[in-house]
């Protein structure tokens, strides 16, 4: 019953992308990383919906938008486990997972306060040196840091 109500709240999508089973606290971060505020097509964001699997969940539906791998890879730092469903003509035609890229441009902040990137109007740039352990190395100050400790820009 509950499930049905939830479905009713979120309109079905003809073409576009659905990200389901998002831990609620990550919904707005993901929206920000995917720059949804810049889109003109309709975007539906569900927040604190009841999920049997993860308690509270979020869902994002974006009409007429198919994210590039580069755009999706921006989620690798905070939400590496979300899955994007590609919808065409009301059907899921593909499921895309987040792939950790070799480099992160302008996504996270360097944790070194004496790094040039924290003191100059410029974009950050990290090399992902260990994808398994989540080790990032700042291209500028050369400090290694773990992705669990860095903040988004």
Partner 1 sequence: MTKSFVTIADLSKEKIMSLLEAAARFEENPNRKTLDGKVIATLFFEPSTRTRLSFETAVNRLGGRVIGFSDAATSSSSKGESLKDTIMMVGNYADLIVMRHHLEGAARYASEVSPVPIINAGDGANQHPSQTMLDLYSIYKTQGTLENLNIYLVGDLKYGRTVHSLLMAMRHFNPQFHFIAPKELAMPNEYKIYCKEHGINYVEHTDFNEETIADADILYMTRVQRERFTDLMEYERVKDVYILKADMLKGTRDNLRILHPLPRVNEIATDVDDSPKAYYFQQAKNGLYVREALICDCLGINEK
Query: Quick one: which segment of 44-52, 81-89, 96-104, 138-146 binds partner 1 (CB under 8 A)?
Result: 138-146
Residues touching partner 1: how many (CB under 8 A)?
16
Check if the beta carbon of residue 34 is closer than 8 Å to that of residue 70: no
* List 9, 83, 116, 133, residue binding partner 1 (CB under 8 A): 116
Residue 111 in contact with partner 1, rule: CB under 8 A? no
Q: Vertex 82, ends 32 and 143: CA angle to 5°?
A: 65
* List 71, 109, 115, 127, residue binding partner 1 (CB under 8 A): 115
User: Taking the complex as a whole, how short is the minimal distance between the CB of residue 105 and partner 1, in angstroms?
Assistant: 13
27's CB contacts (< 8 A; 6+ apart) are 45, 46, 47, 58, 60
User: In the chain, what is the greatest distance between 2 CA atoms, to the nearest angstrom?
Assistant: 55
Q: What are the beta bridge partners of residue 87?
A: 16, 92
Residue 116: contacted member of Zn ion, partner 1, none (CB under 5 to 8 Å, by partner type): partner 1
Nearest in space to 107 (alpha carbons), one of 124, 120, 92 = 124
Using the minimum distance from each CB to partner 1, give the nearer residue, 114 or 151: 114
In the complex, the residues that contact partner 1 under the rule CB under 8 A are 112, 114-117, 119-122, 138-144
């Amino acid at each position: 019953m509950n499930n049905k109500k939830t479905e009713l709240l979120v309109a079905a999508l003809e073409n576009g992308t659905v990200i389901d089973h998002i831990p609620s606290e990550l919904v707005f971060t993901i929206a920000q990383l995917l720059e949804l505020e810049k889109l003109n097509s309709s975007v539906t964001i569900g927040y604190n919906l009841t999920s049997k699997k993860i308690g509270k969940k979020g869902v994002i539906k974006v009409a007429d938008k198919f994210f590039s791998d580069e755009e999706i890879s921006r989620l690798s730092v905070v939400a590496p486990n979300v899955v994007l469903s590609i919808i065409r003509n009301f059907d899921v035609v593909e499921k895309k997972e987040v792939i950790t890229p070799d480099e992160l441009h302008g996504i996270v902040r360097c944790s070194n306060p004496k790094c040039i990137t924290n003191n100059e109007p410029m974009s950050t740039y990290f090399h992902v040196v260990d994808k398994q352990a989540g080790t990032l190395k700042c291209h500028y100050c050369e400090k290694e840091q773990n992705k669990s400790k860095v903040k988004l820009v």
